[in-house]
Amino acid sequence: MRRTSSALVAVLAAAMLVLATWVATDTREPAGHPPGPAQWVGTWGSVPTATPENSTPTVSDETVRQVVHTSTGGDALRLRLTNEFGDGALHIGEVRVARHAGTGTDIAPETDRAVTFGGQRSATVPEGAPLLSDPVPLRLPAGADLVVSVYLPDPTPVTTLHNFAYQENVVAAGNVTAERSVTATRTITQWYFLSGISVRTHDRDPAAVVALGDSITNGFETDLNANHRWPDLLADRLRRVPWLRDTGVLNLGVAGNRLLHDPNPPPGSEPENFAEFFGHSALRRFDRDVLARPGVTDVVVLIGVNDLGHPGSVAPPNEAVTAGELIAGYRQLIARAHAAGLEIHGGTILPFGGTPGLDTDENEAKRQAVNTWVRTSGEFDSVIDFARATRDPADPRRLNPAYDSGDHLHPNDAGMAAMADAVPLHLFR
């Protein structure tokens, strides 16, 4: 019996040695998660808009150095430049990208890369068009800051930009795209001629979530350079979940944006000086800002408050909308998302009690009607109840004072965190 036991022990020991050797040398991913082919997915985006005629900046023989905060990472990247509101061709002298060094707009020199377009370092972007770069071999971790330097050799009116970056960028004299540090001739808080960045990933199921919205999504009243917009904070949450950490989040919100109407300031009014920055309506820009972004699987919609508040102030009174008209607009977004195979999640409109010009009984009744439909109709794939997450428990018509930036409409940084926390992560993938 002892000899049999000894033999059994020897056999088991040999088997365990073979198994241990196999485990130590096997470098494959766990079953069901093999690496996939290279695919592209969006990691950052912004909404390009036109500029008002009387406030169009000009760049000439200067470098525009811009910092962007990415969401997901990859082993290469592509830029999307844009001349979509230009009235002539846009001449790009040189473009370079690098990882941010952590101070101002300084770059980490070892990560500096030239960007090419069809193999050429200079490019011409046709009037009314975007331009995609060639792939740039640069390993980019998730949640990194990237510096994009664009040299414009000719006098160039900045006809296409995103005016509400909440990020300090700079303009410097000459072609200093490759310099570690540059001397700013002026500081700007816009993104010029830049509307998207995608990364190459080997995730088998690359995914990106588009946040489609207005100033609340865009980050109005959040701290400068802090990346405390609620989509940024949602991306932070996703990165902490192993099976969601490769999900991109694209902030396609723009201040002043409406669901149903383009900017339409009354002739001769003060809003003519800034209304162009509000961008095309969500219905009009949906294909460009959602469907054209690589790897998009989901879209979160939070828009409609400006449709209630703009008529009679920065838009004509006859553009006043009903709750039914807003719902019809949402249904159109739902239909177009589903036709493209995307999931679409409806966000409830935040409370705005105390906001001058917006807080009326009529507007509140419309908000309640729209939010009831979002919550109960079942037409969105899911509901994200931003209103419930941010309202004042003592007065649901108003923002929670702890989340109020002071204008009773836009959440502060703490309110942005509450909004990000209100998004159920199980919705994605």
Check residue 205 and give its pLDDT. 85
Q: Which residues contact 182 (CB under 8 A, 6 or more apart)?
A: 63, 65, 105, 170, 172, 176
Q: To which H or E segment does residue 302 belong?
A: strand 296-302
| 385 token code pair | 């109840």
Are 397 and 389 in contact by the 8 Å Cβ rule? The answer is no
Please tell me the predicted confidence (pLDDT) of residue 54.
Answer: 86
Over its length of 429 residues, how does the chain's per-residue pLDDT go in tens digits?
333 344 433 433 443 333 333 332 222 333 345 567 899 999 999 999 999 988 899 999 999 999 999 999 999 999 999 999 999 999 999 999 999 999 999 999 999 999 999 999 999 999 999 999 999 999 999 999 999 999 999 999 999 999 999 999 999 999 999 999 999 999 999 999 999 999 999 988 889 999 999 999 999 999 999 999 999 999 999 999 999 999 999 999 999 999 999 999 999 999 999 999 999 999 999 999 999 999 999 999 999 999 999 999 999 999 999 999 999 999 999 999 999 999 999 999 999 999 999 999 999 999 999 999 999 999 999 999 999 999 999 999 999 999 999 999 999 999 999 999 999 999 997
- CA–centroid distance for 251 within its chain: 2
pLDDT in the model for residue 53? 87
- Other CB atoms closer than 10 Å to residue 352's CB: what's the count? 23
pTM: 0.91
- List Cα–Cα distances, 363 to 92, 313, 347, 360, in angstroms: 46, 14, 17, 5
Q: How far is CA 12 from the centre of its chain?
A: 56
Close Cβ partners of 244 (under 8 Å, ≥ 6 residues apart) = 238, 425, 428, 429
**What is the 8-class DSSP label of residue 415?**
H
pLDDT of residue 34: 58
DSSP collapsed to 3 states, the chain? CHHHHHHHHHHHHHHHHHHHHHHHHCCCCCCCCCCCCCEEEEEEECCCEECCHHHCCEECCEEEEEEEECCCCECCEEEEEECCCCCCCEEECEEEEEEECCCCCCECHHHCEEECECCECCEEECCCCEEECCCECCCECCCCEEEEEEEECCCEECCEEECCCCCCEEEEECCCCCCCCCCEEEEECCEECEEEEEEEECCCCCEEEEEEECHHHHCCCCCCCCCCCHHHHHHHHHHCCHHHCCEEEEEEECCCCCCCCCCCCCCCCHHHHCHHHHCCCHHHHHHHHHHCCCCEEEEEEECCHHHHHCECCCECHHHCCCHHHHHHHHHHHHHHHHHCCCEEEEECCCCCCCCCCCCCHHHHHHHHHHHHHHHHCCCCCEEECHHHHHEECCEEEEECHHHECCCCCCECHHHHHHHHHCCCHHHCC
SS3 393: coil
